[in-house]
A = this chain, B = another copy of it.
Amino acid sequence: MKLNNSLIEQDELALFLDYYELTGGKADFDHKNRDIITETFFFRKVPKHLGSYMIAAGLEQVISFIMNYRLSKKDGGWLKKTSGKDFNKDFLAYLENFKFKGDVYAIPEGTPVFPNEPILSITGPSIDVQLFETYILNVMNFQTLVATKASRVVNAAKGRTVLEFGARRAQGRDAAVLGARAAYIGGSVGSALVLAGKKFGIPYVGTMPHKFVQERDSEISAFREYAESFPHNAVLLIDTYDTLQGARNACTIGKELKAKGYDLKGVRLDSGDLFMLSKKVREILDFEGFKDTKIMVSSDLDEYKVNELVEKGSPIDGFGVGTRLITGANYNSLTKEGEVSALGGVYKLVEIKKEGKVIPKIKISEDIEKTTLPGKKQVYRIAESGTYSHDEISMWEELPPQGAKPLLVPVISNGKIVYDFPKLDEIKRRCGAELALIPDRYKKISGAETYPVKLSDRLSKLKQDLIEEAKSIERTIQK
């Protein structure tokens, strides 16, 4: 019997879209819509408990998708068969011979970004550009969420080690793998998930399971067996029974290791009052001569708890963060307030080129926050005396503000990759370096200020003009 393990295969990715992208595309195709359009991906806001900035992540997977987009013959046949009368041969042939020939500009992965800034700007035939929507939103929303969360935990840890332990609570297997990638970009330095090591070269790390201790007659014999197997790398889990007795047992084993020329690398606490226990465990370790043995903690941590532990002076060397990191929990564990954990990034039409004429597009909403910025745009980041002071979103063809650097860079030009994709460690470094240039008041764990993002005069005027125009059309309709 063949069990369905449901892993996604590369050659079926062309079906990773919402059905309306295909129906819209087919109706475009039927009516010979040859418009060249631009759609942009952006976030309208940062979720309440996640601060003021986000860390862009997911570009490499998005570009791989776009460059490889093509419906397999097999999936074309399946679609024809299962879609009833929805599709004809011609449109499916178009998808089976698909090759994206347009342009993509993007803000590089690892860059801090703010609400309403275009992170991806994609230009090409109307039929083509819409096919990427679901995939872009899926990959960018999730990885950006986790990279953002990770950077907050790392900020809170103030130089202490942050490890990602989330695979068991990630939303599916891909979320564990992509989440490990995004967390690493955001600043964690290792993952418990071995597969993340293979996929991305992320250091994989681990201690020992509670089960290993429970299965032995005593904790100390479990520690001893473990240390015999990993004398060079013994991190002992000391909270299975009584944490302080566990610390004393770890010292006993530490002395045995010393006698063989090894050091006790660390102990791990996974429950209880981490502040109080870490202080007492540190005392025990120091008293027994294990000043270099590290204390690692885990247990429903997030940036709020890490911040509290650090501020209180807990002698903790490293934090293992699981559920709340890998799900990008939009939750404050101290106030116990939370909301839905998802970034609501959107992919919206901003410009149409119809028979040579450029028409900027706006989507107006009663909720003014949801009204989109029209036209093809660039984002400039302006520095003053060594730190970033504000961003400016301007029309694509405008001159940059003095001394400003453009954030959107060319990635695909006429269907060809023109971007040198950085290695993951490079993306991680970029993230750290760029965040360092953003003043602390925008990065506070609680109560971060809103970073100023201005619109250029031209963009601001265009937006107002289009809103006025829409209102006047509405008045005409209502007459």
Q: Taking beta carbons and an 8 Å cutoff, which residues of A are in contact with B?
A: 1, 3-10, 12-13, 15-24, 26-28, 30-31, 33, 35, 37, 39, 60-61, 63-65, 67-68, 75, 78-79, 82, 84-86, 126, 130, 133-135, 137-139, 141-142, 145, 165, 167-179, 181, 192-195, 197-200, 204-212, 214-215, 225-226, 228-230, 232-233, 240-242, 245, 271-272, 323-324, 327-331, 336-342, 344, 348-349, 352, 361, 363, 365-366, 417, 420-421, 470, 473-474, 477
Across the interface, name the chain B residue whose C-beta is closest to A347: B168
Would A176 and B138 be within 8 Å (CB), given that A8-B7, A15-B198 are in contact? Answer: yes
A208 contacts which of B27, B78, B340 (Cβ < 8 Å)? B27
Contacts A12-B198, A342-B169: A211 and B75 contacting too (C-beta < 8 A)? no
Nearest CB in chain B to that of A199: its residue:
B6
* Contact A324 B340, CB 8 Å, known A8-B174, A199-B4: yes
A18 contact from B64, B194, B210, B342, Cβ within 8 A: B194
Task: Determine how close the nearest CB of chain B comes to the CB of A18; give it in whole angstroms.
Answer: 4
Known: A1-B417, A23-B230, A172-B138. A178 touches B211 (CB 8 A): no
**Chain B, Cβ-Cβ closest to A224:** B31
B contact residues around A39 at 8 Å (CB): 211
- Note all chain B residues with C-beta closer than 8 A to A331: 338-340
In the complex formed, the residue of B with least CB distance to A49 is B338
Q: Which 6 A-B pairs have the closest CB atoms?
A: A19-B206, A174-B174, A20-B206, A137-B168, A3-B64, A172-B174
Q: Determine which of B7, B209, B327, B349 lies in contact with A342 in the assembled complex, contact meaning CB atoms within 8 Å.
A: B327
Q: A171-B175, A211-B130 are in contact. Are A194 and B5 (CB under 8 A)?
A: no
A27 to B236, CA, bound (A): 13
Given contacts A20-B207, A64-B5, A338-B340, contact A225 B27 (CB under 8 A): yes
A178-B333 Cα distance, complex, nearest whole Å: 28
What are the residues of chain B within 8 A of A240 when measuring CB–CB?
Answer: 363
Roughly how many angstroms separate A168 CA and B41 CA in the complex, as a whole number? 12
Q: Do B339 and A30 touch across chains, with their CB atoms under 8 A apart?
A: no
Residue numbers in B under 8 Å from A64 (CB-CB): 3-5
Name the one of B28, B212, B229, B341 contacting A329, with C-beta atoms under 8 angstroms: B341
Partner of A215, one of B33, B79, B175, B341: B33
In the complex formed, the residue of B with least CB distance to A59 is B3
Complex Cα gap A271–B241 (Å) = 54
A229 lies within 8 A of B30 (CB)? yes
Verify B324–A193 contact, CB threshold 8 A.
no
Complex CA gap A28/B222 in Å reads: 10
